[in-house]
Amino acid sequence: MSEQTATIWSLVGQIIMIMLAGGGVILLEQTRQALKEWYRQRKLHPIARSVLANKTVNSLLIELRATTEADRAAVFLFHNGQSFSNKNPLWRISCTQECCKMGVSHEIGSMQNILASLFWDGLASLFGSDADCGAGVTAYTASRGQRMYKIDITQLNDGYYKRSMLAKGVKTAFAAPLVDTKKEIVGFISLNYCGKAPEAEEVLTTLVESAGNIHYALTAS
């Protein structure tokens, strides 16, 4: 079933449930408006749909940063920069959205087309088990099995990722993968703290739920 078909059936299901439950006219009208808005967006130019999706993601990111009191919140996506003769693609990462606390520098311009291998110390845990978490990285699991990783920048092995984060003033980072319907990791959300960071348990549920909402917003267009 395609995402478009699934979305339609989801909305239809909402209408049926409201009718069976004897829901009020207000809820039925809200569902009708949601369906109307979905069809309106499908008629937009592809670029307009993409911009609208990114606007939605940005709003979710602003809410996430405010809720977790992070100094910086950002969305990173993986993309294939180039393929070599060994048939292996040269994966890169780019920051597509960023939200910063007042007074904290925006770094999105310097975080484009970065070799994923340069960030491996911070990314390795996303693609493996808890045993793959290196120095300075701790894994956490939410109630529904979603994963989050706390990264103590000062405890990482010396390398590009550690130095680049320290240069931005980041001491602690939390990361949650963006996973598609095929269970493939397509990117991740990062929360940065330049001062004292909250306990991981205080961030866990909010961050993994935001990861799901943001991925849906990215693909819903």
Judgement on whether residues 116 and 156 belong to the same structural domain of the protein: yes
More confidently predicted of 97 and 53: 97
Same domain, 152 and 164: yes
What is the domain-level CATH number for residue 175?
3.30.450.40
Check whether residue 37 and residue 84 sit in a common domain. no
35 and 111 assigned to the same domain: no
* Position 178, amino acid: L
Band of residue 56 on the pLDDT scale cut at 50, 70, 90: confident
Q: What is the pLDDT of residues 195-217, one digit of tens each?
A: 999 999 999 999 999 988 888 87
State mean pLDDT over 97-108: 90
Domain span holding position 37: 3-42
pTM of the model: 0.74
